[in-house]
Amino acid sequence: MTLPGHYYTGRSIYDAETERIFLKRWLYAGRASTIREPGQYFLHNVDTESVIVVRDGEGRVRAFHNVCRHRGTRLCSAPEGRFSKSIQCPYHAWTYALDGSLIGAPHMREVEAFNKSDYPLRGVSVGEFGGGVFLNLDSGAPALAEVFAPLQEKVDRWEFERLQVAHRIEYDVAANWKLVVQNYSECYHCPSLHPLLNRLTPYRNSSNDFVEGPFLGGPMQLSDGNESMTTTGRACATKLAGLTTEEHRLVFYYTVFPNMLLSLFPDYVVVHRLDRLGPDRTRIVCDWLFHEDTVSRADFDPRDAVEFWNMTNKQDWNVSELSHSGIASRAYEPGPYSNLESMLAAWDREYLRAMEE
């Protein structure tokens, strides 16, 4: 059965998700390739928490709470950019190195027993998987490599570290984040909502690699005569070299609990990041990733893939908004899942476990 309505509309549920999921689990924050040079950074926000993700002078990706150790001021507000060689508070000019150490505190030498080494930026656990940066605000969290080991084995052949963002679109969706994940997790709706997608990958040509836990999903088979998920059905880039001949005929869809949707195709990859903005609003950042050799070619044109998924995304976001509106009605009550929606039931179980319910 589907979840009761208050799981999608209730503020108390939203707040409980913050504490039990989004401050406890590894969250997908962005692409490591967007901060290639020392000092490049981006911010990732989780409700009232803001995290600076920055490349330090040694080439390491680091993450810090966006909070000055003096009086708590936000250190930076621009969502992305580049620090020169340090991070300086705009209030009283306390200054931090890119490794988080405090290197400047005007007039604090006059304060008895003050020691700069006692006041570094507070760190946030950070790790990389598939070229993506993941954050965990729980200092006691298990290592990212340990948690993601089962999925790592499935996606290694796509050589994520050599993929680059060729296009990005941000969407603002008037629906609860869980409805977006659940819509992604089934193709029961594909014949009626996505006729082109259903022609490329008929909705019953599917199976699942993962059926329980934080990773769910698996492959769908391309129909005869089609090479990839594009408006024409033709590949718009050279097929990725690490894939097997069998995998050139498959596409893979995985949900990565809680906020990543991972779509793998023979010639490119699409990643969706979900940011909760309220019980009834979700920002979705969609990246189209192609091999760096493909992106550098003069004749590279990703429009066939971008237009296909932008169309499909808009169809999905629209129906997610309709779902949210209906669930908010007093007339809504839980309904039965079909056999084609087994991944939704599995996702609900993982969600309820995370919520300790």
Task: Provide CATH 2.102.10.10 ranges for the chain.
Answer: 27-140
Residue 234 scores a pLDDT above 90: yes
- 137 φ/ψ angles, rounded to the nearest 5 degrees: -85, 5
What proportion of the chain, given as a percentage, has pLDDT over 70? Answer: 100
Q: What's the average model confidence in pLDDT over 162-173? A: 96
Residue 106 scores a pLDDT above 90: yes
What whole-number distance in Å separates Cα of residue 313 and Cα of residue 307?
10
**Using 50, 70 and 90 to split pLDDT, how confident is the model at 154?**
confident
Condensed to tens digits (0 to 9), the pLDDT of residues 80-94 reads: 999 999 999 999 999
Q: Count of residues for the chain?
A: 357
The pLDDT value given to residue 32: 94
Condensed to tens digits (0 to 9), the pLDDT of residues 257-290 reads: 999 999 999 999 999 999 999 999 999 999 999 9
Q: What's the average model confidence in pLDDT over 11-33? A: 97
The pLDDT value given to residue 205: 84
Task: Provide CATH 3.90.380.10 ranges for the chain.
Answer: 156-354
The pLDDT value given to residue 241: 86
Q: What does pLDDT average to over the chain? A: 95
CATH of domain 27-140: 2.102.10.10
The pLDDT value given to residue 9: 97
Residue 357 scores a pLDDT above 90: no
For residue 87, the surrounding DSSP H or E stretch is strand 86-88
For residue 199, the surrounding DSSP H or E stretch is helix 195-200
Topology adopted by domain 156-354: Naphthalene 1,2-dioxygenase Alpha Subunit; Chain A, domain 1 (3.90.380)
